[in-house]
């Protein structure tokens, strides 16, 4: 027993004698042990680390590191890369770095610990999320990152568990089920730890769920409090922190049998914390179902809102609702940045958000009072905001149960989505990925809650049957990096990126803004004017946000690559033809000045043959197939049977030529181990065959018009 420590001490002595400090030979694996509230609050004293999702509790994603700057960024090169492996699914992680170790997450909620200087793998934790969970979420099996606290790493898994890992070994210490995936709940967001509590929300606003956020004791996993964001069935208390405020404020804004549809308001993305005010901020999602005519008249609090809660009790302090009675899937879950801004001669403690609804909001974060807000992208759902921040609605963008379509801007993917933005206190600008988007919404005439498929109360058939709307939407498709001045409420500059759905952003004291884009380019821009100073082609679409950190006196910039997410999966014919990625190979890429590693080349392009059987089905069968395809298949395999390059494009699938094989997959669940579940609970064999008829029709249409789109 006595030998081991003395042998270790002897080794340490040898290393010192040989002139090799032990700390350089191997990063101290206990760096995560030092992470607590004080260390996160004083993150600027440890500028080389990245200790919480938004780097600081205020989520500015601005790094004080300046070794890489506008003068030398041209010498940036690849230091190392790590192949994530597995199938080619979306990667959205913000890696954390503590004590020279990088903790990243991947698709399917895996956690990987790497030596942050070399990329050497230290451990991998695989939570073994059931593949069938894929079909119970909206936007791909993404995960945005972990939280670290006192030697532990916390991850929320896609199937609804919150797991604490030993940061040194990756071994699980405790696991709790915080949401039921079979009921439509999934977790993609990173947890946040405040005052010894791990706080985690969940998604599911497209699946008839009721949103909530829960706090667990970081040490034991014991549930501390839960806050529901929308009311449940009247007269049935939840015995939760939200009971009082829901009864008092929220419940009177709901009518009818709303609870049967879940209500939504899911807290699926980032949170922020102000230690001085002791307020935890959460953003809530769309109402469920989207179609307000089904859900309930009224404002439906607290959907599409920002709420301030007490982190120790979950007690409500204030709320601000952005889209009362939302019908367009305008989640307000997007990043909230806390900063001090000089607004009209007065320094205000503000909270800033650029949610999906297209408006950049600035609130007083002590009171929730609206200070200012302007559209950062063209919108038509509101004609502007009142002095108190309430939208002046445009009835033309509304739809109901009649099936009459309405075109709204932004579309359901949002003018800006979860891709993190960055506030640079040196320039006073907020940098974010903006997508020019529109969508045609139409209320479904019949609504029933389903076990599989989206429950939005919307009919996704409205678009393909309206070629003019498709053309209008495609014409509006843009994507750019925007520098927004939150004080003057104007764009300082824009850099067009060629396509929508681009990556998250980090800015640095080196005067740089880093962003990856949908076309696979990773670039550094000058913070003051957007001039592109450096870029590299990674051959894979990028949506994840870069981070920067320092180990051993060397600054690194890291970004996870891997294409996917809501727009990539569902947009289909609405995406640009150019938005087809060369290979979609998921990787962690890490750069430094003078880095000399070669960028891995793209894999050989898959040779897809379009060889459908002749389209002989009746027009009625094809029409039935189209309705069912748009309702059940389009959200993963792409609008109008055009895949966005993440999941298989069915027009090219061999099974389309083989009726029995098609049925074995769609009805019998033959590919369930890959995530393609059986739809026997929702679709009859006749409907499944009709979907095949429709895909054959679309494949033939494509074959006949290779050069042009069918519309
Ligand atoms: Ca949503």
- Residues 264, 656: Cα–Cα separation, whole Å: 36
**Residue 327: is its pLDDT beyond 70?**
yes
CA of 412 to the centre of ligand 1 (A): 8
pLDDT in tens, 58-112: 999 999 999 999 999 999 999 999 999 988 899 999 999 999 999 999 999 999 9
**Residue 2: is its pLDDT beyond 80?**
no
For residues 488-520, b (16+ Cβ closer than 10 Å) or e, as one string? eeebbbebebebbbbbbbbbbbbbbbbbbbbbb
What is the three-class DSSP state of 182? helix
**Residue 581: is its pLDDT beyond 90?**
no
C-alpha distances in Å from residue 312, one per residue of 15, 147, 195, 226, 386: 46, 18, 7, 11, 34
DSSP state of 443: B
CA of 286 to the centre of ligand 1 (A): 5
Superfamily of chain region 7-593? Quinoprotein alcohol dehydrogenase-like superfamily (2.140.10.10)
- Residues 308, 314: Cα–Cα separation, whole Å: 9
Q: Do residues 495 and 525 touch, judged by C-beta distance below 8 A?
A: yes
**Residue 527: is its pLDDT beyond 90?**
yes
Predicted pLDDT at 578: 58
**Confidence band of 468 (pLDDT split at 50, 70, 90):** confident
**Confidence band of 46 (pLDDT split at 50, 70, 90):** very high
pLDDT in tens, 137-157: 999 999 999 999 999 999 999
- Residues 82, 114: Cα–Cα separation, whole Å: 9
% the chain with pLDDT above 90: 80
- Residues 251, 631: Cα–Cα separation, whole Å: 31
Of the candidates 503, 512, 336, the one whose C-alpha atom is nearest the C-alpha of residue 424 is 512
Of the candidates 458, 461, 437, 434, the one whose C-alpha atom is nearest the C-alpha of residue 447 is 458
Predicted pLDDT at 577: 64
Predicted pLDDT at 570: 86
Residue 228 pairs with which residues in a beta bridge?
212
- CA torsion, points 368, 372, 378, 381, in degrees to nearest 10? 50
Structure tokens at 6: 């003395």
Structure tokens at 282: 């959460």
Question: Which residues of the chain are in CATH 2.140.10.10 domains?
Answer: 7-593
Predicted pLDDT at 711: 31
- Residues 653, 657: Cα–Cα separation, whole Å: 8
Mean pLDDT, residues 651-670 taken together: 94
Structure tokens at 308: 């301030």
What is the distance, to the nearest Å, from the Cα of residue 206 to the centroid of all Cα atoms in its chain?
Answer: 15
Going by their DSSP bridges, the two strands 223-228 and 478-485 should be labelled as unpaired
- Residues 85, 694: Cα–Cα separation, whole Å: 34
**Confidence band of 257 (pLDDT split at 50, 70, 90):** very high
Contacts with 599 (C-beta within 8 Å, 6 or more apart), sequence order: 78, 536, 537, 538, 539, 589
Predicted pLDDT at 582: 62
**Residue 462: is its pLDDT beyond 90?**
no
- Residues 316, 308: Cα–Cα separation, whole Å: 6
**Residue 340: is its pLDDT beyond 80?**
yes
Average pLDDT, the chain: 91
CA of 101 to the centre of ligand 1 (A): 34
**Confidence band of 426 (pLDDT split at 50, 70, 90):** very high
pLDDT-wise least confident of 16-25, 64-73, 319-328, 403-412: 16-25
Q: Does residue 235 come out as left (phi exceeding 0), alpha (psi in the -120 to 50 range) or beta?
A: left
Q: Do residues 677 and 132 touch, judged by C-beta distance below 8 A?
A: yes
**Confidence band of 9 (pLDDT split at 50, 70, 90):** very low
- Residues 371, 616: Cα–Cα separation, whole Å: 61
**Residue 160: is its pLDDT beyond 80?**
yes
- Intra-chain end-to-end CA distance of the chain, in Å: 76
Predicted pLDDT at 289: 94
CA of 668 to the centre of ligand 1 (A): 30
Residue 482 pairs with which residues in a beta bridge?
432, 494
CA of 253 to the centre of ligand 1 (A): 20
CA-atom Rg of the chain in angstroms: 25
Of the candidates 479, 482, 528, 522, the one whose C-alpha atom is nearest the C-alpha of residue 502 is 479
Using alpha carbons only, what angle is made at residue 664 by residues 609 and 648, rounded to the nearest 5 degrees? 35
Mean pLDDT, residues 537-565 taken together: 96
What is the three-class DSSP state of 685? helix
- Residues 505, 494: Cα–Cα separation, whole Å: 14
Contacts with 352 (C-beta within 8 Å, 6 or more apart), sequence order: 336, 337, 338, 339, 360, 361, 362, 363, 423, 430, 486
Q: Do residues 254 and 296 touch, judged by C-beta distance below 8 A?
A: yes
Predicted pLDDT at 11: 37
C-alpha distances in Å from residue 625, one per residue of 34, 442, 582, 629: 57, 19, 31, 6
pLDDT-wise least confident of 277-286, 466-475, 540-549, 649-658: 466-475
Mean pLDDT, residues 28-45 taken together: 88
Contacts with 346 (C-beta within 8 Å, 6 or more apart), sequence order: none
- Residues 308, 205: Cα–Cα separation, whole Å: 21
CA of 96 to the centre of ligand 1 (A): 26
CA of 568 to the centre of ligand 1 (A): 15
Q: Which residue has the tokens 């590919």?
A: 671
- Residues 175, 125: Cα–Cα separation, whole Å: 13
Structure tokens at 273: 């914390």
Sign of the dihedral defined by the CA atoms of residues 33, 34, 35, 36, in that order: positive
Predicted pLDDT at 30: 60
CA of 28 to the centre of ligand 1 (A): 41
- Please report which helix (H) or strand (E) contains residue 447, including its range: none
What is the three-class DSSP state of 672? helix
- CA torsion, points 586, 591, 595, 601, in degrees to nearest 10? 20
Predicted pLDDT at 277: 98
Question: Which residues of the chain are in CATH 1.10.760.10 domains?
Answer: 608-709
Residue 554 pairs with which residues in a beta bridge?
551
pLDDT in tens, 161-170: 999 999 999 9
**Confidence band of 540 (pLDDT split at 50, 70, 90):** very high
% the chain with pLDDT above 70: 94
Mean pLDDT, residues 10-24 taken together: 37
- Residues 413, 572: Cα–Cα separation, whole Å: 13
Among 134, 159, 274, 329, the one annotated catalytic: 329
**Residue 29: is its pLDDT beyond 70?**
no
CA of 285 to the centre of ligand 1 (A): 6
**Residue 422: is its pLDDT beyond 90?**
yes
Predicted pLDDT at 705: 63
pLDDT in tens, 271-305: 999 999 999 999 999 999 999 999 999 999 999 99
- Residues 335, 422: Cα–Cα separation, whole Å: 9
Superfamily of chain region 608-709? Cytochrome c-like domain (1.10.760.10)
Sign of the dihedral defined by the CA atoms of residues 97, 98, 101, 106, in that order: negative
C-alpha distances in Å from residue 566, one per residue of 575, 638, 694: 12, 10, 23
CA of 550 to the centre of ligand 1 (A): 36
CA of 470 to the centre of ligand 1 (A): 22
- Please report which helix (H) or strand (E) contains residue 374, including its range: strand 370-375
357 has catalytic annotation: no
Contacts with 558 (C-beta within 8 Å, 6 or more apart), sequence order: 95, 102, 546, 547, 548, 549, 588, 589, 590, 591
C-alpha distances in Å from residue 435, one per residue of 60, 498, 539: 21, 10, 21
The DSSP secondary structure of 229-280, one letter per residue, reads: SS--STT----STTHHHIIIIIGGG--SSGGGG-EE----S-EEEETTTTEE
pLDDT in tens, 607-622: 778 889 999 999 999 9
pLDDT-wise least confident of 58-62, 118-122, 554-558, 706-710: 706-710
Q: How many residues are recorded in the chain?
A: 711
- Residues 505, 9: Cα–Cα separation, whole Å: 44
CA of 330 to the centre of ligand 1 (A): 7
pLDDT-wise least confident of 27-36, 240-249, 623-632: 27-36
Of the candidates 591, 579, 604, the one whose C-alpha atom is nearest the C-alpha of residue 519 is 579
């Amino acid at each position: 027993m006595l030998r081991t420590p003395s042998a270790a001490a002897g080794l340490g002595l040898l290393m010192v004698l040989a002139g090799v400090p032990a700390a350089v030979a191997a990063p101290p694996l206990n760096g995560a042990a030092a992470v607590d509230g004080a260390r996160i609050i004083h993150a600027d004293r440890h500028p080389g680390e990245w200790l919480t999702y938004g780097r600081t509790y205020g989520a500015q994603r601005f790094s004080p590191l300046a070794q890489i700057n506008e003068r030398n960024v041209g010498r940036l090169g690849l230091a190392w890369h790590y192949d994530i492996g597995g199938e080619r699914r979306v990667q959205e992680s913000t890696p954390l770095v503590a004590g020279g170790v990088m903790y990243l997450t991947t698709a399917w909620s895996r956690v990987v610990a790497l030596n942050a200087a070399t990329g050497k793998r230290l451990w991998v934790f695989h939570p073994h999320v059931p593949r069938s969970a894929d079909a119970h979420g909206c936007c791909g099996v993404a995960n945005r990152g972990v939280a670290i606290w006192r030697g532990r790493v916390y991850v929320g898994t896609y199937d609804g568990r919150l797991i604490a890992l030993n940061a040194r070994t990756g071994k699980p210490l405790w696991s709790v089920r915080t949401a039921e995936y079979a009921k439509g709940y999934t977790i993609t967001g990173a947890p946040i730890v405040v005052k010894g509590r791990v706080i985690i929300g969940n998604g599911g606003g497209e699946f008839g769920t009721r949103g909530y956020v829960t706090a667990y004791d970081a040490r034991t996993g014991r549930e501390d409090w839960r806050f529901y964001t929308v009311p449940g069935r009247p007269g049935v208390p939840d015995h939760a922190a939200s009971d009082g405020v829901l009864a008092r404020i929220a419940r009177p804004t709901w009518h009818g049998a709303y609870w049967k549809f879940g209500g939504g308001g899911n807290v699926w993305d980032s949170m922020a914390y102000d230690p001085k005010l002791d307020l935890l901020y959460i953003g809530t999602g769309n109402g469920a179902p989207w179609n307000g005519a089904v859900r309930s008249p009224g404002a439906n609090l607290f959907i599409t809102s920002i709420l301030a809660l007490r982190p120790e009790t979950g007690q409500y302090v204030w709320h601000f609702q952005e889209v009362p009675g939302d019908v367009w899937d305008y989640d307000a879950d997007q990043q909230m940045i806390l900063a001090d801004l000089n607004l009209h001669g007065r320094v205000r403690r503000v909270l800033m958000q650029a949610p999906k609804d297209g408006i950049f909001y600035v609130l007083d974060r002590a009171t929730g009072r609206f200070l200012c807000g302007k559209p950062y992208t063209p919108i038509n759902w509101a004609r502007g905001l009142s002095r108190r921040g309430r939208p002046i609605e445009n009835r033309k963008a509304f739809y109901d149960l009649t099936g009459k379509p309405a075109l709204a801007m932004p579309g359901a993917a949002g003018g800006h989505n979860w891709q993190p933005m960055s506030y640079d206190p040196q320039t006073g600008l907020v940098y974010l990925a903006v997508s020019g988007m529109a969508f045609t919404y139409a209320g479904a005439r019949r609504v029933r809650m389903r076990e599989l498929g989206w429950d939005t109360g919307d009919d996704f058939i409205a678009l393909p049957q309206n070629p003019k709307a498709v053309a209008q939407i495609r014409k509006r498709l843009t994507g750019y990096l925007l520098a927004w001045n939150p004080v003057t409420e104007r764009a300082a500059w824009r850099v067009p990126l060629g396509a929508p759905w681009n990556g998250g952003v980090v800015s640095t004291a080196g005067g740089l803004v880093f962003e990856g884009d949908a076309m696979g380019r990773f670039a550094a821009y000058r913070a003051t004017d957007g001039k592109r100073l450096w870029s590299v082609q990674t051959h894979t679409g990028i949506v994840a946000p870069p981070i920067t950190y320092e180990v051993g006196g060397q600054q690194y910039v890291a970004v996870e690559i891997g294409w996917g997410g809501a727009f990539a999966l569902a947009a289909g014919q609405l995406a640009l033809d150019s938005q087809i990625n060369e290979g979609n190979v998921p990787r962690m890429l890490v750069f430094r000045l003078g880095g000399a590693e070669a960028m891995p080349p793209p894999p050989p392009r898959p040779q897809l043959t379009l060889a459908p059987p002749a389209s002989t089905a009746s027009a009625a069968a094809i029409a039935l197939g189209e309705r069912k395809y748009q309702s059940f298949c389009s959200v993963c395999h792409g609008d109008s049977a055009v895949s966005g390059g993440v999941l298989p494009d069915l027009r090219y699938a061999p099974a389309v030529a083989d009726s029995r094989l098609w049925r074995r997959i769609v009805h019998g669940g033959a590919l369930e181990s890959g995530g393609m579940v059986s739809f026997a609970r929702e679709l009859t064999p006749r409907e499944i065959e009709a979907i095949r008829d429709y895909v054959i029709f679309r494949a033939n249409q494509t074959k006949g018009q290779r050069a042009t789109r069918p519309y």
